[in-house]
Amino acid sequence: MVKNKRQKKDYKLSDEEEELMVTFLEANEMLWNKKATHYRRPDLKEAAWKKQAEVMSKEVSQLQGWFKGVRDNFTRLEKLPKSGSGQQAFTEREMWTLQKFQFLQRITYHRPQPVNS
């Protein structure tokens, strides 16, 4: 029996659109920082996403999906051991992600490793 796999959505943006999104996200902390004053205001967050989607002529879901993917990738990259401890060199894309999304570092939380006794 074969399970139905969910279709993977394409959230790709051009280089210019990605730079525009980085600027937008840095300026709108309420979209990603749970400690921001307006984080719990879905009306404001939705309005910000809609405005950006209109500016870029994209769907809100595409922009949100792109951000989720990049944010998750940034978190994964931050968790990797630093160079000198057996870590492979980062790709150009990984370096871009680490550089552009440094503003997410203050909200990134990694669970502690379980203790083996």
Distance in angstroms (rounded) separating the CA atoms of residues 55 and 44? 17
Q: Where are the domains of the chain?
A: 14-27+55-81+89-108
The pLDDT assigned to 11 comes to 85
User: What is the secondary structure of 15-54 as a DSSP string?
Assistant: HHHHHHHHHHHHH-GGGT-TTSTTTT-HHHHHHHHHHHHH
One pLDDT digit (tens) per residue for the chain, 117 residues: 566 666 667 788 999 999 999 999 999 999 999 999 999 999 999 999 999 999 999 999 999 999 999 999 998 888 876 656 566 788 999 999 999 999 998 777 666 777 676
